[in-house]
């Protein structure tokens, strides 16, 4: 089983040999471990669900991992939106991108993203979407550096518990 390792200080200035490759089923433990190390929560079930498509041979594999010396140090989970009859539509999304804290600032995130973008381009995708929390200036700064811009579409949400006390919505429900 592959593990994530801290980068020895002596290696910090050395150019890393990074391998970017397609995500395989066997990468799941390494990915959940990296996610847990960074976020502090075990999200194995979440990743298992998200990566169910890996067992479907007809589905194009779009997620990627980054390895240094055989150790998983980053990953990108991306999807293509499937249209009718399983034919890819022309848009894709990035669900998660994560680089081991000890390996950040060494272009690994950018290499993951560039590889994903060129894969998507080759598949005829012309737009890639991702959602970033307003307060996460680090992640939005990274995406901005990599060419992402705010979308003209608005992401709307409704607090369902508050909405049940909202008289306008109750009025609408009378007509349903």
Ligand X SMILES: CC(C)(COP(=O)(O)OP(=O)(O)OC[C@H]1O[C@@H](n2cnc3c(N)ncnc32)[C@H](O)[C@@H]1OP(=O)(O)O)[C@@H](O)C(=O)NCCC(=O)NCCS
Please say which residue, 131 or 154, places its beta carbon nearer to ligand X.
Answer: 131
Distance CA 20, CA 169 (A): 49
Given the rule CB under 6 A, which residues bind ligand X?
96-99, 104-110, 138-139, 141-142, 145
**Residue closer to ligand X, measured from CB, 96 or 115:** 96
Cα–Cα distances (Å) from 105 to 34, 36, 100, in that order, read 17, 20, 10
* Nearest to ligand X of 22, 148 (CB atom): 148
Point out which residues pair with 99 in neighbouring strands: 74
Structure tokens, 126: 């012309």
- The residue among 42 and 110 lying less far from ligand X, judged by its C-beta, is 110
Least distance (Å) between residue 101 CB and ligand X: 8
Backbone angles phi, psi at 3, to 5 degrees: -125, 165
Shortest separation between residue 66's beta carbon and ligand X, angstroms: 8
Closest approach of ligand X to the CB of residue 90, in Å: 23
Q: How far is the CB of 156 from ligand X (least distance, A)?
A: 21
C-alpha closest to that of 148 among 107, 106, 114: 114
Go through the chain and tell me how many residues it has.
176
């Amino acid at each position: 089983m592959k593990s994530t390792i801290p980068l020895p200080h002596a290696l910090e200035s050395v150019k890393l040999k990074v391998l970017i490759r397609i995500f395989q089923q066997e990468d799941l433990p390494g990915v959940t471990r990296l996610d847990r190390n960074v976020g502090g929560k075990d999200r194995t079930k979440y990743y298992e669900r998200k990566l169910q498509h890996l067992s479907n041979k007809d589905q194009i594999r779009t997620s990627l991992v980054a390895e240094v010396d055989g150790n998983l140090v980053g990953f990108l989970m991306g999807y293509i939106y499937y249209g009718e009859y399983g034919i890819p539509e022309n848009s894709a999304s990035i669900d998660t991108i994560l680089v081991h804290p000890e390996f950040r600032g060494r272009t690994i995130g950018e290499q993951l993203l560039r590889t994903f973008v060129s894969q998507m381009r080759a598949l005829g995708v012309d737009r890639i979407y991702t959602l970033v929390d307003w307060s996460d200036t680090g992640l939005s700064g990274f995406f901005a550096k990599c060419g992402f811009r705010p979308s003209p579409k608005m992401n709307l949400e409704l607090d369902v518990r508050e909405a049940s006390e909202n008289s306008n919505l109750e009025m609408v429900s009378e007509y349903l």
